[in-house]
Amino acid sequence: MWETGCGFGAAALSSMLASDGLLPQASAATASPVAGSAGPMAIKPPHFAPKAKTVIFLFMYGGPSHIDTFDHKPAMKGMDGKTVDVKTFGRGGHKAGGRIVEPRWDFAPHGECGKMVSTLFPNVAKHVDDIAFLHSMTADSPIHGSAMLMMNSGKILSGSPAMGSWLTYGLGSENQNMPGFVVMLDHTGGPISGAKNWSSGYMPATYQGTVFRTEGNPILDLNPPSDFPPGLQRRLIDSIQDANRRHLGQHVGEEPLASRISSYELAYRMQSAAPEAVDLSDETAETLSMYGVDNPKTQAFGKRCLLARRLAQRGVRFIQLYSGGAHNDDNWDAHGDLEINHNKHAGATDQPIAALLADLKRTGMLDETLVVWGGEFGRQPTAEYANGSGRDHNAYGFTMWMAGGGIKGGISHGTTDELGAAAVENPLHVRNLHATILHQMGLDPNRLSYFYGGLDQKLVGVEHVRPIHEIIA
């Protein structure tokens, strides 16, 4: 199995293999009821009519504080510094109580629905009538690495395929010149657990995510050496492919080799397709300004959001953008000074996210594009240390939101307690989120499976998982 460091090797198998009759007929992918015989990345029929055809996941790495952003807790007003008995579990372990950190930003109602949003997100607040807020999310781990793996792959342990891998495995790709699963990292670096967050796990490397850069070449090591004579690269690839195909013909079912054959061809086609997709020169000054590309504060995430719209237009199936990278205050992990941390990251993402929602809506794409926002968990209502406003991790109750792609707007589902410490009404697990995403893309989450290790593996696990029907239009 290839590692993600192979760059374009992470991309999908193309229909070229099918036309040559080189796909391993006994592979797990072709054995799937949703997979066709035209190649793993050829378009496959969904289980039922989909509401969305693309997912854009805005991942706020580090864990944004729900009670300081979208989960209004008026009962906490005036409680700053008071000691309360509340069970918490985070980086500091299990605790039975602590000092209240009152929300540091004011909330106000927005939209026709009157949704209360903090002043951290004044631009996103203008779009609440298109958003369904999930206020009762829960996860199995309060530790970044395992929590991120769960949010991305449904498991707290490494080795399972990411959600983007499941979608490209189940549905294929609409653009055979581009990868079906693209990841764009923060300019400060990648998240903890690294490439495991977009790995194809036990599936062929065909389905793993491809990292796109917003500066320079979109994909490292994609272009041939500058001194290659015209046509030489094509002849070299043809020669290598001929040898690989002969070997594959004698070893049907050798998936790593099939993936390698495909990646050579896809990489060759991507040499022209990928640079065009990330070229913003044909975008208007108005559009660039709307996304904040002309502002140093919002430029980096603004570019990623604009590129997400461009990739969605070009048929990329799953696009994941990271806000925050590396460690400490380079991401949303506000253990020290909550105000400095969240002002920084919300300030960098609020305008670009609002622009993405507005742009998708004005171009008619929001109806078929599912936008997901959130981190790996939330934050506690109590202080982590004796002094300061820092909050520890909270997997007992946090907020995520979804918009577009057949999701009802202007609603809030589920609640946490009056302090935001834990989900109390309509608690939701990460698996419910995954099931909803698959459902909106036309896939039955309890039916989509991949045979591995003697089991029919599923993104949502072995037990039946219900999509969140209350937010589905």
CA distance linking residue 347 with residue 339, whole number of Å: 11
294-310: burial string, b at 16+ Cβ within 10 Å, e else = eeeebbbbbbbbbbbbb
Planar angle of CA 404, 419, 72, nearest 5 degrees: 40
* Cα angle value 321/57/301 (rounded, 5°): 30
Nearest to 129 by CA among 382, 357, 455, 440: 357
**φ and ψ at 169, to 5 degrees?**
-65, -45
pLDDT at position 239, please?
73
pLDDT tens, the chain, 473 aa long: 333 333 333 333 333 333 333 333 333 333 333 333 345 788 999 999 999 999 999 999 999 999 999 999 999 999 999 999 998 998 888 999 899 999 999 999 999 999 999 999 999 999 999 999 999 999 999 999 999 999 999 999 999 999 999 999 999 998 888 899 999 999 999 999 899 999 999 998 889 999 988 776 766 555 666 666 767 666 766 677 677 777 767 776 666 656 555 555 555 555 655 677 788 899 999 999 999 999 999 999 999 999 999 999 999 999 999 999 998 899 999 999 999 999 999 999 999 999 999 999 999 999 999 999 999 999 999 999 989 999 999 999 999 999 999 999 999 999 999 999 999 999 999 999 999 999 999 999 999 999 999 999 999 999 999 999 999 99
Q: Which of 265, 270, 224 is nearest to 242 (CA)?
A: 265
Tell me how many degrees the CA angle 157-159-163 measures, rounded to the nearest 5: 90
Identify each DSSP E strand in 175-218 by its residue range: 181-184, 210-211
* Residues found in the chain: 473
Residue type for position 390: G
Residue 88 burial by Cβ neighbours in a 10 Å radius (0-12, 13-18, 19+): buried
Q: Return the pLDDT at 63.
A: 97
| CB 154 within 8 Å of CB 198 | no
Are the beta carbons of 395 and 370 closer than 8 angstroms?
A: no
Q: At what angle do helices 255-277 and 299-313 cross, to 10 degrees?
A: 110
Q: Do 425 and 415 contact (CB within 8 A), yes or no?
A: yes
| Backbone phi and psi for residue 428, each to the nearest 5 degrees, phi listed first | -120, 140
Domains contained in the chain, CATH given: 51-471 (3.40.720.10)
User: Which pTM does this prediction carry?
Assistant: 0.86
Q: What is the pLDDT of residue 265?
A: 57
Angle made by CA atoms 79, 391, 337, in degrees to the nearest 5: 95
Long-range contact pairs involving 217-226 (C-beta distance under 8 Å, separation at least 24)? 217/275, 218/274, 218/275, 218/277, 218/278, 219/7, 219/8, 219/270, 219/274, 220/7, 221/7, 221/8, 222/7, 222/8, 222/267, 222/270, 222/271, 222/274, 223/271, 224/271
- Dump the DSSP string for 268-309: HHHHHHHHHHT-GGGS-HHHHHHTTTTSTTTHHHHHHHHHHH
Of 191, 186, 204, 193, give the one whose Cα is nearest residue 14.
204
**Residue 256: φ, ψ to 5°:** -60, -40
DSSP 454: T
Q: What is the pLDDT of residue 4?
A: 36
In the structure encoding, which two tokens stand for residue 141, read together? 């781990």
